[in-house]
């Protein structure tokens, strides 16, 4: 009996120590809880983080939350960010490094009224176009620069840029001929408002050759000199990519997991399932490792942003394969 009891205590001790030994990781999202971040919620829900000895806290973002500021202030270990904002922050002195790139493709596009007579990018001249700012305008400015279209006002060779809020009202109210949308979100808000896809023309930045990388994972450069932190990130990325691939293969279930984590109750099942279906197209083809060619295209696009580029020189040390090389072995 003593041997049995001793064995049970040892087993319990081992189990308890494994629980207490879980390493804390805080992830800051770029936006609110939605299927755009399904891989992380899936990894947590399915126990993928737990299997890696991690206790992961996922912090939702929102219009009043700047992920770069959160990580700069020590509020998160790792953040989801778009590369234009990350590279801009790096050039300004916040040394962010991309450690993984779950999204292979960009979901950004311009959505236009077809009855405005727009069928090609050349037709955008002399129009009012809704554009997101706060770092999201740079792919647009680069695209216009490449087309030789001035962005200082309507003219035969220029456009009026309307600073667009994070909604689709300027298009619905005909304040703009085109607005910025994501394939997985705002485009469907236009459709849900009663507009038929036949009434719209879309220009995907991916198709225009000016797409920049979205939703990468970023950490502070100094932390990468800490072997314990690196080990945590290796395990975090491995579990996260397991979550992303599970979400790709089970989009409807992944959407339901996201809904269960939406503390606001603002999201709907229909919208999240549709969003997850579109997100799966953007994560498809990525194993988590950054493709250097995609990085180079992003940098080239940002440097070609006309008179006010987001970055003024080629970044150095802005990404690493060290984490994904270890995580994806």
Q: What is the pLDDT of residues 106-116, one digit of tens each?
A: 999 999 999 99
Question: How are strands ordered across the β-sheet holding 200-204?
Answer: 160-163, 128-131, 178-182, 108-113, 200-204
CA distance 77 to 84: 20
Residue 216's pLDDT is what? 98
Give me the CATH topology for the region 108-208.
D-Maltodextrin-Binding Protein; domain 2 (3.40.190)
Residue 304's pLDDT is what? 81
CA distance 154 to 309: 21
> Which residue ranges make up each domain of the chain?
23-105+213-328, 108-208
pTM for the whole thing? 0.89
Lowest model confidence (mean pLDDT) among 16-25, 164-173, 270-279: 16-25
Q: Is the pLDDT of residue 11 over 60?
A: no
Retrieve residue 156's tokens. 């035969």
Selection from 208, 213, 179 nearest residue 291 by Cα? 213
Residue 253's pLDDT is what? 98
Mean of all residue pLDDT scores within the chain: 92
Q: How many CB atoms lie within 10 A of CB 299?
A: 21
- Give per-residue pLDDT as tens, 61-118: 998 899 999 999 999 999 999 999 999 999 999 999 999 999 999 999 999 999 999 9
Q: Is the pLDDT of residue 10 over 50?
A: no
Residue 231's pLDDT is what? 98
Residue 13's pLDDT is what? 42
pLDDT confidence of 307, banded at 50, 70, 90?
A: low
pLDDT confidence of 134, banded at 50, 70, 90?
A: confident
For domain 23-105+213-328, the question of CATH label 3.40.190.10 is answered with: yes
Residue 63's pLDDT is what? 86
Contacts of 62 by beta carbon, 8 Å cutoff, 6+ apart: 31, 32
Q: Is the pLDDT of residue 329 over 90?
A: no
CA distance 316 to 296: 12
Contacts of 134 by beta carbon, 8 Å cutoff, 6+ apart: 85
- Give per-residue pLDDT as tens, 225-258: 999 999 999 999 999 999 999 999 999 999 999 9
Same topology, domains 23-105+213-328 and 108-208? Answer is yes
CA distance 24 to 30: 20
Residue 301's pLDDT is what? 87
Enumerate the H helices of 167-285 as residue ranges.
Answer: 169-172, 186-192, 205-208, 227-249, 251-260, 269-283
Q: Looking at residues 178-187, what average pLDDT do you find?
A: 97
Residue 218's pLDDT is what? 98
Strand boundaries in the chain, DSSP class E: 23-28, 54-59, 78-81, 96-100, 108-113, 128-131, 160-163, 178-182, 200-204, 216-220
pLDDT confidence of 20, banded at 50, 70, 90?
A: low
């Amino acid at each position: 009996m003593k041997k049995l009891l001793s064995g049970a205590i040892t087993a319990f001790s081992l189990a308890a120590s494994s629980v207490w030994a879980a390493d804390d990781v805080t992830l800051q999202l770029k936006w609110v809880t939605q299927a755009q971040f399904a891989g992380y919620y899936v990894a947590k829900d399915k126990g993928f983080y737990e299997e890696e000895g991690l206790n992961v806290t996922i912090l939702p973002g929102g219009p009043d939350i700047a992920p770069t500021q959160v990580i700069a202030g020590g509020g998160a270990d790792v953040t989801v960010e778009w590369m234009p904002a990350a590279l801009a922050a790096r050039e300004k002195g916040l040394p962010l490094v991309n450690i993984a790139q779950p999204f292979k493709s960009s979901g950004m596009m311009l959505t236009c009224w077809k009855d405005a007579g727009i069928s090609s990018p050349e037709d955008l001249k002399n129009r009012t176009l809704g554009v997101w700012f706060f770092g999201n305008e740079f792919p647009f400015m680069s695209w216009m620069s490449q087309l030789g279209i001035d962005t200082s006002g309507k003219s035969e060779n220029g456009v009026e840029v309307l600073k667009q809020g994070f909604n689709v009202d300027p298009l619905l109210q005909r304040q703009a001929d085109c607005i910025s949308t994501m394939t997985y979100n705002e485009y469907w808000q236009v459709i849900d408002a009663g507009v038929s896809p036949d009434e719209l023309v879309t220009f995907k930045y991916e198709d225009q050759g000016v797409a920049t990388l979205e939703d990468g994972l970023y950490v502070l450069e100094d932390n990468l000199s800490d072997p314990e932190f690196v080990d945590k990130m290796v395990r975090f990325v491995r579990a996260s990519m397991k979550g992303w691939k599970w979400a790709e293969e089970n989009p409807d279930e992944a959407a339901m997991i996201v809904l269960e984590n939406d503390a606001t109750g603002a999201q709907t099942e229909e919208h999240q399932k549709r969003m997850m279906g579109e997100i799966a197209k953007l994560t498809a083809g990525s194993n988590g490792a950054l493709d250097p060619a995609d990085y180079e295209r992003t940098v080239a696009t940002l440097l070609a942003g006309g008179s006010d580029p987001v970055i003024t020189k080629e970044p150095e040390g802005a990404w690493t394969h060290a984490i994904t090389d270890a995580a994806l072995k």
